[in-house]
Structure 1
Amino acid sequence: MATKVIQSLLIDGSFCEGGGQLLRNTVTLSALLSKPVSICNVRHNRKPPGLRKQHEAGIKLAAEICSADTTGVAVASTTVGFKPGTVHLPSTFSADPGTAASTTLLLQVSLPCLLFSSNTSEPSSLVLRGGTNATQAPQVDYIQHVFLPFMRKKMGLDVSLKINTRGYFPKGGGNVYCSISPMSGPLPAISLLERGAVTAIRGEARVGGLPLSLAKRMKEAGHQKLVSSGIPADIIQIDSVREKEGDAFGAGGGIVLWAETEGGCIIGGSAVSTKTKTPEEVGQGAAEELLLNLAHGGCVDEYLQDQIIIFLALAKGKSTIKTGPITMHTRTAVWVAEQMTGAKFALQENESDATIVCEGSGYSPQAS
């Protein structure tokens, strides 16, 4: 009997925001759904275009998880081929780009791939090395305090994360451990249309290899900005922390704030320390981002908005989520999800807010 040849789906990497997210989501869904892809114009809208070390590491991690054959996985490559095999769980995986590239972006690539198994309930382990608190990516604290709590509460994920060592730009050197328990059936659809009043604002201002006073200045500036904007002082609790010697590699810092609401929503705001900004500017920047995310009345912030698209596409049933203005990253994630999964999205947009509606594909390992 002749072997059936499955043609690769061609994905144009220049679509919409044309950056790394399109690449990550495409490879992730290819690995999970066993759909070969060919991605051209990789990171076409970035300077320089093509793969960087973090993208190379992410694709190699996804390839390891699903025993994929790949082509073009090298720095500066603008065309990538990815032909997945089978995902066998539970397993232990690791990734290290050898730079300060973000550990959280490596988690974005691998998490959906490790969430489903038809033959085990044992968790898989993931060790990610690189940067933990850097610009151009969610800080690991955002993942720990906003993304994962949201996904546990709303979609039933059983994922734990431990930060063994923090890695600051430009040295990297961080070490993050994740334990991911697989789901035997599809993710549930979710409906989030009423955020409810803010009941608490929490936060952490952290530094490593720097004086604690810098973290305290970030904290105080963030607190002052929130109070001056009408947030009651008695619902705000921000901690200032200096990492112990050996718990951080390099010198740096950042602050992550998150608001908890009556409707069970978690809204974030964050900023990373840089040489060009004072601690006060960093703290105020995080508070301003949180306030902006609260102002539109949506149930997710601008970063959670695009990160959950891939999960809505895999869920069973109709999900409806009120958000702020739709970002380019979200439009890109929606396009990739529709190309890869068969999920159908509708973006209902107003001037200041929007609603994302998704009829999910109902993916489960038994149906793969």
Structure 2
Amino acid sequence: MIIIDGSEGEGGGQIVRNSCALSLVTGEPFRITHVRGKRSKPGLMRQHVTAVEAACVISGAEVRGLAVGSSELEFRPGKAEPGEYHFAVGTAGSTGLVLQTVLMPLILAGGPSRLVLEGGTHNMLAPPFDFIEKSFLPVIERMGPKVRARIVRHGFYPRGGGRIEIDIEPAPLAAIECIERGVAQGVAGQAMFAGVPFDIADRMVKRAAKDLPDWPENALCIRELPAEQGPGVILMLEARYAHVTEVVSGFGQLSVPAERLAKTSAARMKGYAEAQAFAGPYLADQLILPFVLAGGGAFTTVKPSQHTLTAIDIAQRFTGRRITLARQPAGEHLLTVG
């Protein structure tokens, strides 16, 4: 059994999710102590419980310590089975993070699957649905599987209530190289809001336009959703290249001026545009699992975050495969599996 100290590395819920996914694929049981030990509220939260429950439902896995607030979790995997599954986080906990837990096991399960996930679709502590659809899943499809995602209803933090649907056509994961992002093909951005004043979204867009003077005048827009899908507001900035799309987001937060959120998002987008790397920090996190399970491949990324380094450590412990990071002359980092 693999023993993991959940307070090591980034010390958050990613350790739980990635461990469940890797356990289902490799058959290795694990125990995590000090779950989410570096968070202000340590222990399992509702979305982590749902993610582990989902892993159990698709495989018949056995688990101990699965309760909100639990600081220790023991997981003995079963075999992931394809099928139709419906999981509800119950709060604004991220549907995308539940998807992260079960996607790779179902991709490798040998038959088509359909997922319905209810909860938060736009949550400040997780990549928004748009990132999953536009940045992450296209890379997965290049590796062989076909994964179609659609959003039925948006759900902002803290209310949630969103719904996404995922169709999975499995295939073996091919080792690929994602070194160059390719020719720039365009940019776009939108402030999406529900149940909050229009002025907040308007101020976000105006500040983003000021900080991104090279963007076309019509690249930014505002989209209003039905009030019952909020309250919430998010600014999403998108840069499309021939081989990858980067999505940067900034979520509205109480007591944080809209202009400050937009300024931060624009700075992050400018930083990515000026780099030479294929993957931004969040895409790099998401690519560790599929690349290590493919048994090979490589991609370039910006300076690795603690999240990425922790994901690498967990992946190596379950698979025994070597993952290396090497800084390149232009400043990007090359991650190689095998």
TM-score (norm 1): 0.85
Cα deviations by residue, 1:318-345 (Å, 9 ceiling, x for unpaired): x221211111111111111111112211
The AA in structure 2 aligned to 1:330 is T
Mapped contact 2:153–2:229 kept (Cα < 8 A)? yes
1:350 deviates by 5.8
2:216 equivalent in structure 1: 233
Unaligned runs of 5+ in 2: none
Partner Cα separation in structure 2 for residue 300 and residue 164 of structure 1: 28
1:309 equivalent in structure 2: 288
* Residues 147-162 of structure 1 aligned to structure 2 (within 5 Å): 147-152=136-141, 154-162=142-150
CA-based RMSD: 2.0
Partner Cα separation in structure 2 for residue 232 and residue 215 of structure 1: 18
Q: Tell me: CA distance 1:201–1:275, structure 2 relative to 1, closer, same or farther (3 Å).
A: same
**157, 165, 171: which is aligned to 2:153?**
165
**19, 25, 39: which is aligned to 2:18?**
25
* Residues 132-281 of structure 1 aligned to structure 2 (within 5 Å): 132-152=121-141, 154-183=142-171, 185=172, 187-227=173-213, 231-233=214-216, 237-244=219-226, 248-262=228-242, 264-281=243-260
The AA in structure 2 aligned to 1:302 is P
Mapped contact 1:52–1:76 kept (Cα < 8 A)? yes
The AA in structure 1 aligned to 2:14 is Q
1:242 deviates by 0.7
Mapped contact 1:196–1:261 kept (Cα < 8 A)? yes
Residue 68, structure 1, aligned to residue 68, structure 2: no
Between stretches 64-73 and 308-317, larger displacement belongs to 308-317
Q: Which SS does the other structure have where 2:164 is aligned? A: strand
Mapped contact 1:269–1:288 kept (Cα < 8 A)? no
Mapped contact 1:210–1:242 kept (Cα < 8 A)? no
**123, 131, 136: which is aligned to 2:120?**
131
Partner Cα separation in structure 2 for residue 151 and residue 214 of structure 1: 35
The AA in structure 1 aligned to 2:140 is M
Q: Tell me: CA distance 1:239–1:144, structure 2 relative to 1, closer, same or farther (3 Å).
A: farther
1:199 deviates by 2.7
1:112 equivalent in structure 2: 104
Q: Tell me: CA distance 1:157–1:257, structure 2 relative to 1, closer, same or farther (3 Å).
A: farther
1:302 deviates by 0.7
1:76 deviates by 1.6
The AA in structure 2 aligned to 1:225 is D
Partner Cα separation in structure 2 for residue 150 and residue 168 of structure 1: 26
TM-score (norm 2): 0.93
Mapped contact 2:149–2:166 kept (Cα < 8 A)? yes
Unaligned runs of 5+ in 1: 1-7, 360-368
Mapped contact 1:146–1:258 kept (Cα < 8 A)? no
Cα deviations by residue, 1:29-71 (Å, 9 ceiling, x for unpaired): 1122222111222111112221111111111111111111110
2:43 equivalent in structure 1: 50
2:265 equivalent in structure 1: 286
Partner Cα separation in structure 1 for residue 116 and residue 201 of structure 2: 28
Mapped contact 1:192–1:320 kept (Cα < 8 A)? yes
Q: Which SS does the other structure have where 1:253 is aligned? A: strand
Partner Cα separation in structure 2 for residue 250 and residue 285 of structure 1: 23
Q: Tell me: CA distance 1:256–1:84, structure 2 relative to 1, closer, same or farther (3 Å).
A: same
Residue 79, structure 1, aligned to residue 40, structure 2: no
Partner Cα separation in structure 1 for residue 241 and residue 157 of structure 2: 33
Partner Cα separation in structure 2 for residue 148 and residue 212 of structure 1: 31
Percent of aligned positions with the same letter in both sequences? 32
1:98 deviates by 1.8
Greater radius of gyration (CA): 1
Mapped contact 1:293–1:302 kept (Cα < 8 A)? no
Partner Cα separation in structure 2 for residue 237 and residue 139 of structure 1: 20
Cα deviations by residue, 1:141-182 (Å, 9 ceiling, x for unpaired): 221222223333x32331112212211222111111111121
Mapped contact 1:298–1:322 kept (Cα < 8 A)? yes
Partner Cα separation in structure 1 for residue 235 and residue 147 of structure 2: 23
Partner Cα separation in structure 2 for residue 189 and residue 45 of structure 1: 34
Q: Which SS does the other structure have where 1:348 is aligned? A: strand
